[in-house]
Amino acid sequence: MKAGEILILNNMEKKRITDIHILKKKIVIYFDDEKIEINPNTFTEFNLYLNKLISKVDIDKLLAFDSYTKDLNYALGLISKYAYTSSKLKKKLIAKKIKDTNIKMIMRYLAEHELLNDFAFAVSYADTLIHRHKGKNFIKEKLHELGISEEDIIKVIQGLDINAISETLIKYIKKLDTQYSKKDIIDKKNKIINNLLRNGYSLSEINKALEKVKLTYINYESAIKRDHQKFKRLYDDNQKIVNALRRKGYSYSKIKGVMEDSL
């Protein structure tokens, strides 16, 4: 008998299920010379019962199915708790050391059942970023980092609500106007522009929004002199006065100037 024929016979040889132990989260199947542990879904899918004869080929199929369903349930558990992109989920499954064949089947299953939709995720995430005062450039960068395809990114950016971006930008400028209240005219505007550029807004968007917001400016010289006199009454130590003025947002050069003038 040839080696190939022996292999076929071995694969066709059937084993009898001698015992079945049903535990809380798994089922143990006993044969004469081995045992296997499977999940309840596998047990039902393969219609297993006591004294059933099953070939080695079918046992291998059973174990492959069991491995896949266990890994699929892990993936389903992940996406039920958090929103995942395809790229991020795949990295998570690889980190779990799940077999490549199972990962491919899992990703296909999730896509076919619309449980994983990168475009829908990207749209929702972009909307969240807009309301966190982030511009188009910032949104593009973040979507790239999350592994969203270039095609989906383009569609997301094209579909952004321009009015919503403009409204949130104007609100944010007003907030920054208050935040930089101790800055002089030029310094305040430059700080606002630089802040907005870092948050992904284009210079043209920023300039248009600034035209619609009237920035408030204090009389810087009067304000720092007034605060200097106040802290001078509170502290005998010059360094404490400097620190107090710095906490109020005044630049060191301006503090130095007003302190020298008061000598």
What global pTM score does this model have?
Answer: 0.64
Could you tell me which residue, 11 or 220, shows the higher pLDDT? Answer: 220
Per-residue pLDDT for 8 more than 80?
Answer: no
Of the candidates 37, 44, 99, 46, the residue with the CA atom closest to the CA atom of residue 72: 99
Question: Could you report the per-residue pLDDT of 158-182, keeping only the tens digit for each?
Answer: 999 999 999 999 999 999 998 887 6
* Domain boundaries 3-112, corresponding CATH code: 1.10.10.10
Of the candidates 244, 187, 252, 245, the residue with the CA atom closest to the CA atom of residue 215: 187
Phi-psi region of 133 (alpha: psi -120 to 50; beta: other; left: phi over 0): left
Bridge partners of 55, per DSSP, are 14
Could you tell me which residue, 187 or 229, shows the higher pLDDT? Answer: 229
The whole-chain average pLDDT of the chain stands at 88
Question: If pLDDT is split at 50, 70 and 90, which confidence band does 7 have?
Answer: very low
210: its two tokens:
């600034």
Could you tell me which residue, 25 or 185, shows the higher pLDDT? Answer: 25
Helix 220-234 with 252-261: angle, nearest 10 deg: 70
Question: Could you report the per-residue pLDDT of 50-106, keeping only the tens digit for each?
Answer: 999 999 999 999 999 999 999 999 999 999 998 889 999 999 999 999 999 999 999
Q: Strands 35-38, 53-55: parallel, antiparallel or unpaired by DSSP? A: unpaired
Of the candidates 103, 106, 20, 6, the residue with the CA atom closest to the CA atom of residue 56: 6
User: Rounded mean pLDDT of 193-220?
Assistant: 89
Per-residue pLDDT for 11 more than 80?
Answer: no
**Domain range annotation of the chain:** 3-112, 117-215, 220-261
Contact (CB, 8 A) for 115 and 72: no
Order of strands, edge to edge, in the sheet holding 19-22? 19-22, 27-30, 35-38
pLDDT of res. 1 = 46
pLDDT of res. 214 = 86
DSSP assigned state of 69: H
